[in-house]
Amino acid sequence: MLEDFGDEAAETEDGADGPAVSDAFALQRQRAADLGGFMLELDNHVLTFLPGQGKRLVVSFDNLAAVRETEDRIIWGQKFLQAQGHDILGLQVKRRDWFRDRQIIDALTGLRDAGFFRAYPAVSMFGSSMGGFGALAFAPLAPGCTVMAFAPQRSLTASLCPYETRYRHARLNTDWSLPYGDAAQGLCAASRVYIAYDPTQPEDRAHAAALEAPNVTFLPMRHMGHKLPPALLKMGLLKTISQAAFEARLELPDFARMMRARRESTPWRADFLARCLARGHYRLGLSLAEKMMADRPHWKIRHQKKELAAALAAAA
């Protein structure tokens, strides 16, 4: 379900963090206590540990949308990760600061120095967008870890990434001189890194080029946009891809075979037709919509077909 991974589809990339709530972490605090874990509550972040089977620790980083959740703040992907039996360390944010905060960095390095990460036979880092940056940048906390990062950024530092203009507030109002601020440096500590991105997104393509390294496997997802997890979740692929990445067994032929299934996904089909409409490819889109309706009728496709037909008629 989408709430397992946060409502990234409604994510706003910049601006205010929204109204504060009395205690959005109350239920999560109780879960941690019930499982024998812990919750470390800092000024701008919450570090939550939920024990599982003790075989793999997954460090999950919030995305930008998380601060909008006001009732029950869970870790990004928590239900999926718990169903797999993983121990979870969740880095939950109270503000969109891209983890540029001395308190949380000190807390994480304190866990490292205490041997927290070394206690596990396997560690994985996990996140999307801002969380993808975090998963890569903080990989040195657990040398030899695996990383699954969706549409990550290398950094928001202008000198490193002059092509990145989407996150003005975070670029200007966070301290990028703090440690763990360059994902290209951080990922070198991992044994295997998977980076999913849409090469038709100029900024994401530029970040991917800046993150190329021998231990990196790129997972291109053309025409799926920046917010990849919601689309993959609707296609039934997010959890399969993520688990295979954690275990470093996701190879490009298998990934390509899974991605071909997107053409059978109604959300992907509807999005493709929407792109045809937005780019003025009315005739092509209408032809494809007719074939899709003949193959597997759906109200979303019917709606797109009507819009394309109207646009084609108006342009005639």
Say how far apart CA 15 and CA 222 lie, in whole Å.
28
Q: Is the dihedral of CA 275, 216, 242, 123 positive or negative?
A: negative
Say how far apart CA 10 and CA 67 lie, in whole Å.
12
Q: Please indicate, yes or no, whether residues 281 and 183 belong to a single structural domain of this protein.
A: no
Q: Please indicate, yes or no, whether residues 133 and 279 belong to a single structural domain of this protein.
A: no
Give strand ranges (E) for 205-292.
216-220
The per-residue pLDDT for 49 is 98
The per-residue pLDDT for 21 is 46
| Domains identified in the chain, total number | 2
Q: Please indicate, yes or no, whether residues 249 and 274 belong to a single structural domain of this protein.
A: no
3-state helix, strand, coil in the chain (%, to 5): 45, 15, 40
Say how far apart CA 63 and CA 91 lie, in whole Å.
10
Residue 308's identity, in one-letter code, is L
Q: Please indicate, yes or no, whether residues 299 and 158 belong to a single structural domain of this protein.
A: no
Both tokens of residue 137? 């940048």
The per-residue pLDDT for 22 is 60
Q: Please indicate, yes or no, whether residues 209 and 125 belong to a single structural domain of this protein.
A: yes
Would you write out the chain's pLDDT as a tens digit for each of its 316 residues?
A: 455 676 554 455 555 555 444 689 999 999 999 999 999 999 999 999 999 999 999 999 999 988 887 789 999 999 999 999 999 999 999 999 999 999 999 999 999 999 999 999 999 999 999 999 999 999 999 999 999 999 999 999 999 999 999 999 898 889 999 999 999 999 999 999 999 999 989 999 999 999 999 999 999 998 788 999 988 887 889 999 999 999 999 999 999 998 887 777 777 788 889 989 999 999 999 999 999 999 889 999 999 999 999 999 999 8
Q: Please indicate, yes or no, whether residues 43 and 63 belong to a single structural domain of this protein.
A: yes
- CATH number of the structural domain spanning residue 101: 3.40.50
Q: Please indicate, yes or no, whether residues 27 and 114 belong to a single structural domain of this protein.
A: yes
Q: Please indicate, yes or no, whether residues 62 and 169 belong to a single structural domain of this protein.
A: yes
Whether 12 and 64 have beta carbons less than 8 Å apart is answered as yes
Place of tokens 């090469």: 199
Q: Please indicate, yes or no, whether residues 106 and 189 belong to a single structural domain of this protein.
A: yes
Alpha helices in 47-194 (DSSP H): 78-83, 102-113, 130-137, 168-173, 183-186
Write out the residue range of the structural domain in which residue 122 sits: 2-262
- Burial tier of 33 (Cβ tally within 10 Å: 0-12, 13-18, 19+): exposed
User: Which of 217, 232, 262 lies at the terminal end of a domain, its last residue?
Assistant: 262
Q: Please indicate, yes or no, whether residues 145 and 293 belong to a single structural domain of this protein.
A: no
Q: Please indicate, yes or no, whether residues 297 and 166 belong to a single structural domain of this protein.
A: no
User: Which of 228, 244, 262 lies at the terminal end of a domain, its last residue?
Assistant: 262
Q: Please indicate, yes or no, whether residues 297 and 159 belong to a single structural domain of this protein.
A: no
Whether 123 and 57 have beta carbons less than 8 Å apart is answered as yes
